[in-house]
Amino acid sequence: MVLNCDCIRDILLCIEEIVEPRKFAVFIDTELFDKTNQNTLRFTDDSVIEDYQYQLLTKYSNKELIYHLNYCVKDKLIDLRNDSNSIAIIVEDLTPKGHQLIANIRYDSVFEKTKRICKDLGVKSLSSFVQVAENVTSELIKSHFIS
């Protein structure tokens, strides 16, 4: 699957908004949930997934959302609870690296400029995207002091 930086950004912003001490963000792999529960319960039932996941699912498919959540874990952008499993991804918090990335791409203008530079350079990896975002932010800070 092709990495979608918009999806990663939306996931990180969602987690940042939801997670608090003793309050976690829970994402359900709706396809696995339906297969596991057969005819007893469906992911479309009100109590199965949270509103924030519904909102993400209006923009991204279940496969894309779950792929990018797992990618965020592997790239150490989010921390999972130990009781997470293949159906329920339970996010404890953003990591310091996740907080830093979202701080750099929070504002649409910076995010869009970062994406544009990455596209112009043909950059497709998340590590390169993070580096470009840091440089865009750094240049904005420098320009503030120069003017």
For residue 140, what are the CA distances in angstroms to 21, 80, 110, 135?
Answer: 33, 33, 9, 9
User: Above 80 in pLDDT, residue 72?
Assistant: yes
For 121-137, write each residue's pLDDT tens digit: 998 899 999 999 999 99
For 15-40, write each residue's pLDDT tens digit: 999 999 999 999 999 888 766 665 54
- Structure token pair of residue 69: 């959540």
Domain map (residue ranges) of the chain: 5-95, 101-146
The per-residue pLDDT for 36 is 67
Mean pLDDT of the 58-82 span: 96
Give the full edge-to-edge strand order of the sheet including 88-94: 25-28, 88-94, 78-80
The per-residue pLDDT for 41 is 46
Model confidence, pTM: 0.88
The per-residue pLDDT for 147 is 61
Mean pLDDT of the 75-82 span: 95
